[in-house]
Structure 1
Amino acid sequence: MFNPQNPTTPQTSGFQPLNRDGLVDRVANLLAEAIMAGRILPGARLSESTIARDMGVSRAPVREAARLLESSGLVEYHTNRGFFVQTVSASALDDLYEFRIVIERAAVARLVAQGAESTLPLLRAQVKELYRVAEAGEDMLCQVEADMQFHRLICQGSGNPRFLTVFDQIANETKLGLIVIGRLYDDPQRMAETHEPIIDAIAAGDSDAAVEAIDYHIGTARTLVCQQFRLLEDKTAR
């Protein structure tokens, strides 16, 4: 594991050697998984040489992979210092959720307007998955991924590929924020339940109600996430 308190080159990154097929994407995926799982913490430096050695590749694909993660908000580049895992803040998350509301309001309105017959079964199945994950006591990463997939389906079903592209660009950063706080609701099933009004509005073909449901759903999450992050920031500052 990389230690953010000691950002010098670590002895090992824990990665295994890779073959050459789809190398950059595979490196990026492995790094993203490690960040999401908390094996590489916010603020930690990504040592290109260590990662390249452990994966059995040159530094070039590692650098390219880091650039990919930079575009998705997981990694940031510091001039003359290298790549670091994004440090999450309440202010940055508030901006992110504000942006999500804009995108998903438009996406759900378009979905309803053009007809959601093919998307509704997928959304209902994803809510079932959210309940399953909660009942099984899966970790926060599984819960967050199930939640984000629901919202991705709305963007995908809207028929506007731009919504999906933008959603995918900000998804990892959203996940990272949720994973850092550890939980959103005291009752894991509450996360699943909060999606029900969205499905009801879409099924009714009521665009205004669907937009209002998205507004409330993401707005409530925005408030909870930012409150919890401010508490974490206050504790760190003491």
Structure 2
Amino acid sequence: MAKSPQTTSFQPLDREGLVQRVATLLSKAIVTGQLAPGARLSESVVARELGVSRAPVREAARLLENSGLVTYRANRGFFVRETSTQALNDLYELRMVIETAAAQRVLKHGLTETIDRLSAQIDVLHEVAAQGADMLTQVEADMEFHRLLCAGSGNPKFLHVFEQIAAETEFSIMVIGRLYDNPHKIAETHEPIVNAMRRGDEAATCDALRYHIGVAQKLVTRQFRDLTESSSGN
């Protein structure tokens, strides 16, 4: 009598999940500088190192192209994006638009649970600073505040756009190496936003957000310009 096939508890690998995992690994490598701006993203090398086929690597690269981390050159493949001062200005300008709109929606619909989450994330930012965490951890905690704002607005389109530019924002900060000398400053710059939201003051909230993002915009673009000029002068 033939034995029935042995079964296991293994679940089939989800292709979409695999692609996302590869994209996350590549994104971290780009943001942290393991893959430098202008470097070619070799599908065969990445596939071999990760132990996967080239197909999910190619799909992951397409995702990174959508998020602004890589560019595709015909007949040459994918390359880590080389940014510019103008591109960084455009990026922060877009963030101002979607994040102020998200904040306005939070206030309009009285989404106090979102404000509570934002306040809690400021505590996380202070904890990260107190622990002396590395720059990437600080940047990720910073971006989580803004992600929570967009996610908590009740409009999924805001979050969708934010997710497309979040990695590019992280990349821009990691390229210059820092924002503030005092890591607690990162946490403190978010406090006027939440304070204004607590009061239900829409105008003050939008002003605080524009100021917060605008200061980051000036710091990032100035430091990037200085870094670029220093590199070209060598």
TM-score under structure 1 length normalisation: 0.89
SS of match in other structure, 2:112:
coil
In structure 2, the residue matched to 1:15 is: none
- Structure 1 window deviating more from structure 2 (107-116 vs 20-29): it is 20-29
SS of match in other structure, 1:76:
strand
Unaligned runs of 5+ in 1: 1-18
1:63 aligns with 2:78: no
1:211 aligns with 2:201: no
1:108 aligns with 2:88: no
1:104-126 CA-partner distances (Å, limit 9, x unpaired): 11111111111131112211110
- Structure 1 window deviating more from structure 2 (52-61 vs 200-209): it is 52-61
In structure 2, the residue matched to 1:227 is: 222
1:30-68 CA-partner distances (Å, limit 9, x unpaired): 111221222111111111111111222221111111001
Q: Which amino acid aligns with 1:121?
A: D
Contact 2:32–2:171 (CA<8 Å) still a contact in 1? no
Contact 1:66–1:75 (CA<8 Å) still a contact in 2? yes
Q: Which amino acid aligns with 1:104?
A: E
1:137 aligns with 2:97: no
Q: Distance in 2 between matches of 1:115 and 1:52?
A: 48
Q: Which amino acid aligns with 2:80?
A: V
SS of match in other structure, 2:170:
helix
1:103-148 CA-partner distances (Å, limit 9, x unpaired): 1111111111111311122111100111111111111111111111
Once superposed, what is the RMSD of the aligned Cα atoms? 1.2
Alignment match of 2:150 (pick from 143, 150, 155): 155
In structure 2, the residue matched to 1:188 is: 183
Q: Which amino acid aligns with 1:183?
A: R
Q: Distance in 2 between matches of 1:57 and 1:187?
A: 42
Q: Distance in 2 between matches of 1:230 and 1:33?
A: 23
1:141-180 CA-partner distances (Å, limit 9, x unpaired): 1111111110111111111111110001100000000011
Alignment match of 1:25 (pick from 1, 10, 20): 20
Equivalent pairs, count = 220
Q: Which amino acid aligns with 1:204?
A: R
**Residue correspondence of structure 1 range 82-97 to structure 2 within 5 A:** 82-97=77-92
Q: Which amino acid aligns with 2:164?
A: Q
Which structure: larger Rg?
Answer: 2
Identity percentage of aligned residues: 59
Contact 1:116–1:203 (CA<8 Å) still a contact in 2? no
Contact 1:116–1:202 (CA<8 Å) still a contact in 2? no
TM-superposed CA distance for 1:20, in Å, is 4.1
